[in-house]
Amino acid sequence: MNEFLLDRHANHTCTDEKVCRAINLSKSMVRFSALLNCVPDLNFIFSFLCEEITLSLDLSAVSVFFLDRSQDILHFVFGVGLPPDFGALVKPVKRLTLDRMISKYGYLLVIPDIGTITDLPNLHLYKKWNVKTLAWFLLHRHEQPVGLINVYSFGTQIHFGIEELLFLKGLTDQASLAIENIHLNNDLEEQTTQLTSLYDSILALNSSLDFYSKLEFLCVIARSTIHAERIEFYKFLHEQNQLHLKFGLDSYGKIQESCQLTLTSPEDEGDIFGWVVNNKIPLNKADLSPKFFSQKTYSNFRSVMLSPVVHAGDLYGILAAYSSNTGEFNARDERLLVLFANQTAVILNQAIEVKQ
C-alpha cells in the first residue's frame, strides 16, 4: 500500500529532481523495513544494508562494524566496494575508543576530508586506500552501541544533503531495531536451553547415583549451560583453612590433577577464593591478572566466577567456572552458577546424611 501511494505520487511530481530523489529514498526505506521483518538474520541485515545504501545513494563503498558484546570490541563483518585487503588489514575498535569518539562527535559524523582529522581509528589505512570523504552512523538501541556503518568515497570529496542524512539515519535505526530483536530471540532460546538443563540437573538429584556421579552430571550440565571452558568443585576444610579440588571438568573430560588452596586474608585482593569463603556470596571477576591464573597453572584463563556451596548456613566448598575470554560471564550466568552450587550443596548434604 505504501509503495502504491509513493508510485502514484511520483507520477505527478517527478518533474523536480529533488522530489524524485526523496520519493525513491522513501521507497527504498519501505522496502528495507519490509525485508528486515521477513528475514531475522544478522548476515542478511548487514549485506542488504550495505547494498541498499550504495545503490540508493550511488556511493562508492560501505562497511559494517559489529559490536562483540563478550569482548567489547567493534570488528568488521561486511562491506561493499571496499579494497580487497580491507578485511585483513582493518583493526577492531575497542569499546573505550568508540565511547570516546561518540562523546566527542556524536552518533553521526561526516568528514568531508579525512585529512582534517587525526584521531580516527584505522586512519592510516584510509589514507593508504585514498579515502577522501568518510561518514559514520552508529547502530544503537537505548543509547547503547550495537555497531557502526561507515560510508566512504575514494579520491573525490562528496557531499551529503539533508535527505541523504535522514535516509541513512532511518536505515540505521531500523537495522538497530532488527538486530535487537534477533538478540532478544537468541536470549529467549538460550533461556529455554538453560531451563531444560536445570530440569535435567533436578532429575539427577533425585536419581540413585552416588555422590561423585551426581556431581559429575551437574558439572557437565553447568559447563555447557554457562559456556564455561572449565568448572571445578573445591571442598572447604575448616580446620586447615584450605580448599581441596575434589572434582573438575574441561573440554577434555574429568580433571585428574590435585590442587590445594590455603586461604590468606579475605581482604587480600588476590585471594578471591578466601573472599568468597569469608563472605559466602558469589563473585564474578571479568578480567583477572595473568598472575592469579599462573599461580593455579591456568595460563589461558582470564575470567572466573565463584559461588559458595552452602547448606543451612554451613559452607561445604566453592563451585568455580573459568573462561579464556575477558568478561565472558554475565549476571544470568552468575545466577545459574548459584543455582548449580545450591544443587551441589543438596547432594553433599544427602551424602553426609547417608554416611551418618
Q: Tell me: the pLDDT tens digits for 248-287?
A: 888 777 766 667 676 665 555 567 888 888 889 999 988 7
Q: Which residues contact 153 (CB under 8 A, 6 or more apart)?
A: 59, 60, 61, 131, 132, 133, 134
Assess whether 222 and 170 both reside in one domain.
no
* 122 and 262 together in one domain: no
- 15, pLDDT greater than 60: no
Domains contained in the chain, number: 3
C-alpha cell at 124: 592510516
Exposure of 143 by Cβ count < 10 A (0-12 exposed, 13-18 middle, 19+ buried)?
exposed
| Shared domain check, 233 and 165 | no
Predicted confidence band of residue 10 (pLDDT cuts 50, 70, 90): very low
pLDDT over 90 (residue 354): no
72-105 residue pLDDT tens: 788 898 888 888 888 889 898 888 888 888 888 8
202 lies in a domain? no
Any domain includes 254: yes
Task: Write the Ramachandran bin of 58: left for phi over 0, alpha for psi from -120 to 50, otherwise beta.
Answer: left
Residue type, 96: L
- Domain end: 127, 151, 184, which one? 184
For residue 123 the three cell numbers come to: 586512519
Largest CA distance in the chain: 94
33 and 86 fall within a common domain? no
Pair 233, 338 in one domain: yes
* 3-state SS, residue 307: strand
Q: What would you report as the CA-atom Rg of the chain, rounded to the nearest whole angstrom?
A: 27
Residue 80 has phi, psi (to 5 degrees) of -130, 135
C-alpha cell at 340: 548449580
Per the DSSP assignment, residues forming a β-bridge with 65 are 76, 148
Please state, rounded to an integer, the average pLDDT across all residues of the chain. Answer: 77
Q: Which residue has the higher pLDDT, 38 or 154?
A: 154
For residues 251 and 349, membership in a common domain is answered with: yes
The pLDDT value recorded for residue 13 is 47
Q: Is residue 61 part of a domain?
A: yes
Residues 126, 180, single domain; the answer is yes
Is 139 found in the same domain as 54? yes
- Residue-wise pLDDT for 192-229, tens only, equals 666 566 666 555 555 555 667 777 777 888 888 888 88
pLDDT grade for 309, boundaries at 50, 70 and 90 = very high
d(C-alpha 235, C-alpha 347), whole Å: 13
Q: Is residue 241 situated within a structural domain?
A: yes
Average pLDDT over residues 103-122: 85
**Residue located via cell numbers 566466577:** 305
| Shared domain check, 211 and 174 | no
User: Is 296 domain-assigned?
Assistant: yes
Tell me the backbone φ, ψ of residue 39, rounded to 5 degrees. -125, 90
Query: pLDDT by residue (tens digit) across 39-73?
Result: 667 777 777 777 878 777 778 788 888 888 777 78
Q: What pLDDT band is residue 169 in, cutting at 50, 70 and 90?
A: confident
User: What's the CATH code of the domain at 139?
Assistant: 3.30.450.40
Range of the domain at 18: 1-37
* 239 and 315 housed in the same domain: yes
- Amino acid at residue number 338: V
